[in-house]
Amino acid sequence: MKLNEDIQLDVAEVGERILGRWADIRRHTRSVIIDKKLSKPLGASFEKHREVVLDNLKTLVKEGATQYGFPEALGGQLNPGGSLSSFEELVFADPSLQIKFGVQYGLFSSAILYLGTDYHHEAFLPKAVNLDTPGAFAMTETGHGSDVASIGTLATYDPATKEFVIHTPDRHSYKDYLGNAAKHGEAAVVFAQLITGGENHGVHAFFVPIRKRGKLLPGVGSEDDGLKGGLNGIDNGRLFFDNVRIPKANLLNRYADVTDEGEYTSSIDSPGRRFFTQLGALVQGRVSLVGAVVNAQKKALDIAVRYGLERKQFPGPDGKEKTLMDYGRHQRRLFPLVARTYAQIFSHQELLEQFHVVFSGEGDTEENRSDLETVAAAGKALSTWYALDTIQQAREACGGQGFMAEHQLTGLRADLDIYVTFEGDNNVLLQLVAKRLLQDYAKAFKSPDFGTLATYVAGQVGSAAIHRGGLRGMAQTIVDFGSTARSVGYVKDEEHQHQLLTDRVHTMVANLANKLKHSGPKDKAKEAELFNRHQNDLILAAQAHAELIMWEAFTTALKSIKDKDSLQILTWLRDLYGFTLLEENMAWYVVNGRLSSARAEAITDYIDGRLLPRLRPHVESLVDAFLLSPELIGTNLAADERARQSGKKTLVRN
């Protein structure tokens, strides 16, 4: 049997697995970033940064890095997964460029593609795709935020002129935070309440011209959001409308239309389902953000790990200074983040595949769309939170050097801060996920009670649910006494990790179902009160569900690794991710009788005493597998530290 130090990660194989299905597109976009020098201009004013970003987006168009998701006639491939893959890579250049790309292609152009029909595809889409018409995506309003169904902007049909009148009735209804709104946008896809014949038919999308040759059109107002906490290369701003008239044909009418006489028609009878179908067509925003922040974490960890391998601090027993990475605490702060990032990589690949299947038409079913929306909401929420945590930990792990703007981390975190709010507040998204979990539970048990809870959990996760009466806890204490190896042996098996993680999700959902019940006749006020009281529990259950998805994706990915050494190293890394989840939620497992105190303590001992030492020789290879060149990282921090210690001059920066 090989010693830990004798095995090696096959960086080429693992790196290719990380690049995934659309590896060639990712490589092409990376090459454009490097060859055309599209990196973020450090220290530039936000006015200058905006113009650089617009020019860089034009370069991406010329180099064929933006059109993948659109029809072949427009230079595309109708390749939804490839389009998002290109977008995700742009965080290595400049997050502002990435989001400028996202506004133009993932939101504005995609809304025309997915919500429009042949007329819109011919009249508006070509200029949107080739960037002749920079566009804004005017959904969010100042006073309504994530509550899109309640937006105040009105689109009232006038049968006398066969026009819609777009109007902003009050300050609450200003379209806000919109990329391209302050300066560059020539048109917008505006979401508004469609009114005809005095009846409100809910939120619909309209193509509305807003500027011509840089000047606002009559009735269109705009305000600049100005300097922001990050992403200052984007001209975010507000739009508002004073009875702006547009042709009836500018209604993006894939799902609903209005006759010349003003009669409303729709292929979807239910107003609620119609609303969510239209918004569901734009789920790619959440999917792509997951991939974007995962790439940002790769960059942050590449910087922090390499610096930790070079930076020396304090003498060891032999009198020689030790590298930061040889300290247990430094391993503790970074290795679990590497493990979690790998879990996110593999879960995002599954999400991206699912997105491609739906939006390419290969498997566009109502069930698949519903699953996609749920998993995308969960993934977006956790991944964006994880990104901020990872980048901050990486910054701190680099000490004072990490605070220097030239080393990328502070700017990266500032730019990504708003990603947790993009495409819906994370807490709102997790509530949507929890509602879906409760719906699935309700299908299995129309009248759940504690008896059905026990049956449900036991049926789903087998022996992991046998905890009634404290018998499991007592048995664990007796069997495990005095032996860390024996205590952790049960937990480290893949099957039992899965059981414990699954049990937590199912039990939390089942308990919630019971808590949200109320006796007596249906009472909306009582239901709302119960929901509000248990709102935090809903979010925790959804988070546990998302963590389980990531663990399962990591485990599935292991089956595709052919090199035995790499499989062993990645299995340790997966175990670190699983054990960290158990440790972070240890109170739940102990209180609910799933783990004894001895096993709980053994989990922490196993992380510190076994997993971290096993992974220490391989942490550089694990970040090597991200396949990020120095140009994509954008800092010479580790190399400069190595040169300094050798007495050589530091590297010359561009």
Domain CATH code at residue 120: 1.10.540.10
pLDDT given for residue 501 in this prediction: 92
pLDDT given for residue 492 in this prediction: 75
At residue 314, the 3 state secondary structure works out as strand
Residue at 82 is within a domain: yes
Residue at 3 is within a domain: no
Q: What is the mean pLDDT of the chain?
A: 88
CATH number of the domain at 163, please: 2.40.110.10
Q: What are the DSSP E strand ranges found in 57-162?
A: 135-138, 154-158
At residue 204, the 3 state secondary structure works out as strand
CATH number of the domain at 377, please: 1.20.140.10
Do 211 and 110 share a structural domain? no
What residues act catalytically? 423
pLDDT given for residue 256 in this prediction: 94
> What's the CA gap between 285 and 236, in Å, rounded?
17
At residue 573, the 3 state secondary structure works out as helix
Residue at 331 is within a domain: yes
pLDDT given for residue 365 in this prediction: 87
Residue at 653 is within a domain: no
Contacts of 317 (CB under 8 A, 6+ apart): none
pLDDT given for residue 444 in this prediction: 65
Do 247 and 114 share a structural domain? no
> What's the CA gap between 628 and 625, in Å, rounded?
8
At residue 239, the 3 state secondary structure works out as strand
Q: What 8-state DSSP symbol labels residue 650? A: P
Do 360 and 464 share a structural domain? yes
Q: Where does a domain end: 218, 252, 280?
A: 280
Do 502 and 353 share a structural domain? yes
Q: Give residue for tokens 């105040």.
A: 152
> What's the CA gap between 156 and 174, in Å, rounded?
17
pLDDT given for residue 136 in this prediction: 97
Do 612 and 557 share a structural domain? yes
Do 289 and 259 share a structural domain? no
Do 616 and 474 share a structural domain? yes
CA distances to 346, 355, 554, 557 from 550, in Å: 7, 17, 6, 11
Do 228 and 369 share a structural domain? no
pLDDT given for residue 559 in this prediction: 96
For 350, the domain range is 284-624
Residue at 6 is within a domain: no
Residues 442-453 have pLDDT tens digits of: 776 554 444 444
pLDDT given for residue 418 in this prediction: 95
The residue ranges of the chain whose pLDDT is under 50 are 1, 447-486, 652-654
Residue at 649 is within a domain: no
Residue at 372 is within a domain: yes
Closest CA to 614 of 54, 3, 1: 3
Q: What is the C-alpha radius of gyration for the chain, rounded to an integer number of angstroms?
A: 27
Do 435 and 400 share a structural domain? yes
- Positive/negative CA dihedral, 439, 445, 451, 455: negative
Do 342 and 256 share a structural domain? no
Do 155 and 87 share a structural domain? no
Residue at 648 is within a domain: no
> What's the CA gap between 623 and 553, in Å, rounded?
19
pLDDT given for residue 487 in this prediction: 52
Q: Where does a domain end: 240, 255, 280?
A: 280
Domain count within the chain: 3
Q: Where does a domain end: 260, 280, 300?
A: 280
Do 510 and 543 share a structural domain? yes
